[in-house]
Amino acid sequence: MADFYVTTPIYYVNGAPHIGHAYTTIVADVFARHYRQRGDEVFFLTGTDEHGLKVQRAAEEQGISPQELVDTNSAKFRDLFAKLELTHDRFVRTTEADHKDAVVEMVRRMKAAGDIYLDTYAGWYSASDEAYYSEDEIEDGKAIESGSAVEWVEEKSYFFRLSKYEQPLIEWYNSQDIPVRPKARRNEIAAFVEGGLNDLSISRTTFNWGIEFPEDPEHVLYVWVDALTNYITGIGGFDEKGEPAKFWPADLHLIGKDILRFHAVYWPAFLMSAGVELPKQVFAHGWWTVDGQKMSKSRGNWVDAFELVEQYPLDLLRYFMIREIPLGSDGNFVQERIVERNNSELADNLGNLVNRTTKMMQGFLGGTVPKSVETDVEADVSLRECAAKTLTEVRDSMDKREPHHALESIMHLGNELNQYIQSTQPWKAKKEGDSERVEQILYHALEGIRWMAVLVQAFVPDAAAKILVAFGLDPVEGARLDALQWGGLPAGNTITTPDVLFEKIELDVPKPVEKEPKKKSKKKGDKKMNKDDAEGSGLIEFGDFLKVKMAVGRILSAERVDGADKLLKLSADVGEDAPRTIVAGLALAFEPEDLVNKQVAMVVNLKPAKLFGIKSEAMVLAVKDADGGLELAFFSDNIVPGTQIS
């Protein structure tokens, strides 16, 4: 049996959990559930990072002991994860005794490898990031990357010979499996390491909230050496033979892009030094903004994770977070988008399908599942093929860490099922007294829904369980992906209709002010105003805007189109499995080679159009300048292709 070990960062407990913490942990939960469904032995670890200057200062500000602060705030994370119904196997805390043992062992090994020496650190430190910064990473008293305040530190310190691992790290990044993902992040971190690594200060003497440096109580161990080791503590630390316990190496360290350096440089270097196998993958996901802005308490757009749980059903929250952005891209958390996805995808596509089909079952067949017959009717065959294809796509997408694609495939199966019922018209067969065909159609529809429920279980577990139970199946055993076979829904089972799976949501926005009734007027000006009213002022609803999906696309290749001097044929990565082909009227303004590797704005949900016999699958956005030339909106390489523009 394969095993799968997934981790989240352990979260700082200086404050309460917010949407970002919920996101990473939900994504990890989706992976954990998915691999469990495949029969893998899964270990899912999350927890809290409780030591360090930041936590000590937060406790001082509140006038309580650090221990009191971490106990209170760590409990909030545990409460939240229980409310989110997450399925972690352990919630690790860095103040636990077994964690200290694992950390002491890590440091002992790094020392034994000759990688630790005593010196003096003089440089910048950010307590908020718990990170050291070099002079060129600072501007106006702040770290350029994070914007956090830095302070000057000068004290005796133990150092780790990070510089020694420059070459081995580069080799690791270049290894075939690409252990740091997405690729753009791998490139970013490889460039950073190629720029040269300084040795790393790994102890402090000016505060004491942390693990004592082994054999030198004057020093406190740097909180990141402490925190990163949680990934070994969590699965049981080192065994008698000095090996990390079962499940090591981790299959997936899921993190936010803010802590890539710690996970893709420091952690593998510590592990190499300690003679421990490296994790298989570090995956840095993107950043949520709220209403288009960085979340902050002062801006008033801070999303407390508990409020989120109160506001939205869990299934919807999970669905939205996964479906809205490719893992690795940034996303914008906007209520309108959540509502749109709920109403049109979950409620209409899945909820109605289940409701309608189960009701038809009761009306036409008394709710009893008929025998499975694999007909060769075209609609039936193509539905079965679509289900089989979806299963493959879901597995592949999850292995490729593209959960949004997995959901896309599942929702496509939902569309196919809706169309299947529409085109096969079981009500017509019923009316014509063709009971054999009614049974065939309804069996196919039910079996398709069962497949959909099993496939979607990791994403929307409540709805999936309700469907399986309504089909007379066990919600756990019945959700095994490795046992998914067409015809698996037993004849004779009784089908009931589950409670509403997804309630439609009305947007919680202020109602437009009632318009005054139009008055008749003979004045010219008034007439014009009335005309504007009638035809609309040219303003659109936010919901209309949301219909246009714009994303950043990376142009992979560009060539002229024979016989069309204005057109270029482009191939662009828009964050999907395969690049899209685009025919764009850019040839008079750009040389094809000047566009290659550029990231530009595109509309990605236009119906494809054929131009000069080439199917164009997106539209590049451009502006015409006064002389009829063209300009494009370019994005830097920091943006992962596929990131939505909103």
Comparing CB distances to ligand ME8, the nearer of 42 and 255 is 255
Rounded to the nearest whole angstrom, what is the least distance from the CB of residue 433 to ligand ME8 in the complex?
58
Spatial separation of the C-alpha atoms in residues 306 and 309, rounded to whole Å: 5
Comparing CB distances to ligand ME8, the nearer of 26 and 558 is 26
- Indicate which single residue of 4, 5, 12, 238 sits in contact with ligand ME8 (rule: CB under 6 A): 12
Contact assessment for residue 587 and residue 565, using Cβ atoms and an 8 Å cutoff: yes
Provide the 8-state DSSP code for 346.
I
Comparing CB distances to ligand ME8, the nearer of 328 and 370 is 328
Residue type for position 95: T
Comparing CB distances to ligand ME8, the nearer of 11 and 471 is 11
Q: Of the listed pieces 18-26, 454-462, 478-486, 498-506, which binds ligand ME8 according to CB under 6 A?
A: 18-26
Comparing CB distances to ligand ME8, the nearer of 148 and 352 is 148
Comparing CB distances to ligand ME8, the nearer of 252 and 468 is 252
| N- to C-terminal Cα separation, the chain | 44
Residues 285-344 that bind ligand ME8 (CB under 6 A): 287-288, 295
User: By C-alpha distance, which of 408, 415, 412, 407 is closest to 352?
Assistant: 415
- Indicate which single residue of 23, 44, 160, 209 sits in contact with ligand ME8 (rule: CB under 6 A): 23
User: By C-alpha distance, which of 607, 615, 631 is closest to 549?
Assistant: 607
Taking the CA atoms of 26, 32, 35 and 36 in sequence, report the sign of the dihedral they define: negative
What string of DSSP letters covers 274-317?
Answer: HT-PPPS-EEEE--EEETTB---TTTT---BHHHHHHHS-HHHH
Rounded to the nearest whole angstrom, what is the least distance from the CB of residue 297 to ligand ME8 in the complex?
13
Rounded to the nearest whole angstrom, what is the least distance from the CB of residue 163 to ligand ME8 in the complex?
22
Rounded to the nearest whole angstrom, what is the least distance from the CB of residue 11 to ligand ME8 in the complex?
4
Q: Of the listed pieces 20-28, 205-213, 214-222, 462-470, which binds ligand ME8 according to CB under 6 A?
A: 20-28
Comparing CB distances to ligand ME8, the nearer of 106 and 445 is 106
Residue entry with tokens 């669905």: 319
Helix axes 435-456, 352-365, angle to 10 degrees: 150
Comparing CB distances to ligand ME8, the nearer of 20 and 461 is 20
Spatial separation of the C-alpha atoms in residues 291 and 331, rounded to whole Å: 10
> Mask: binding to ligand ME8, 238-277, rule CB under 6 A, as x and -?
-----------------xx-xx------------------
Number of residues that bind ligand ME8 (CB under 6 A): 19
Spatial separation of the C-alpha atoms in residues 449 and 357, rounded to whole Å: 9
Rounded to the nearest whole angstrom, what is the least distance from the CB of residue 6 to ligand ME8 in the complex?
13
- Indicate which single residue of 5, 6, 21, 405 sits in contact with ligand ME8 (rule: CB under 6 A): 21
| Element holding 49 (H helix, E strand) | strand 41-49
Spatial separation of the C-alpha atoms in residues 639 and 148, rounded to whole Å: 22
Rounded to the nearest whole angstrom, what is the least distance from the CB of residue 287 to ligand ME8 in the complex?
4
Q: Of the listed pieces 16-24, 154-162, 497-505, 535-543, which binds ligand ME8 according to CB under 6 A?
A: 16-24
Residues 587-626 that bind ligand ME8 (CB under 6 A): none
Rounded to the nearest whole angstrom, what is the least distance from the CB of residue 301 to ligand ME8 in the complex?
11
- Indicate which single residue of 45, 150, 169, 228 sits in contact with ligand ME8 (rule: CB under 6 A): 228
Comparing CB distances to ligand ME8, the nearer of 192 and 302 is 302
Contact assessment for residue 359 and residue 461, using Cβ atoms and an 8 Å cutoff: no
Phi/psi region, residue 526 (left: phi>0; alpha: psi -120 to 50; beta: rest), is alpha
Spatial separation of the C-alpha atoms in residues 166 and 169, rounded to whole Å: 5
For residue 573, what are the β-bridge partners?
Answer: 554
Buried-state track 602-628, b at ≥16 Cβ within 10 A, e below 16: bebeeeeeeeeeeebbbbbebeeeeee
Spatial separation of the C-alpha atoms in residues 444 and 84, rounded to whole Å: 34
Task: Rule CB under 6 A: say whether 49 interacts with ligand ME8.
Answer: yes
Q: For the chain, give me the number of helices (H) and strands (E)?
A: 22, 28
Q: Of the listed pieces 21-29, 385-393, 462-470, 636-644, which binds ligand ME8 according to CB under 6 A?
A: 21-29
Spatial separation of the C-alpha atoms in residues 66 and 401, rounded to whole Å: 38
Q: Of the listed pieces 3-11, 29-37, 404-412, 544-552, which binds ligand ME8 according to CB under 6 A?
A: 3-11
Rounded to the nearest whole angstrom, what is the least distance from the CB of residue 15 to ligand ME8 in the complex?
8
Rounded to the nearest whole angstrom, what is the least distance from the CB of residue 34 to ligand ME8 in the complex?
19
Rounded to the nearest whole angstrom, what is the least distance from the CB of residue 49 to ligand ME8 in the complex?
3
Comparing CB distances to ligand ME8, the nearer of 76 and 444 is 76
The tokens for 436 are 């054999």
Give the residue nearest to ligand ME8 (CB). Answer: 20
Task: By CB under 6 A, name the binding residues for ligand ME8.
Answer: 9-12, 20-21, 23-24, 49, 227-228, 230, 255-256, 258-259, 287-288, 295
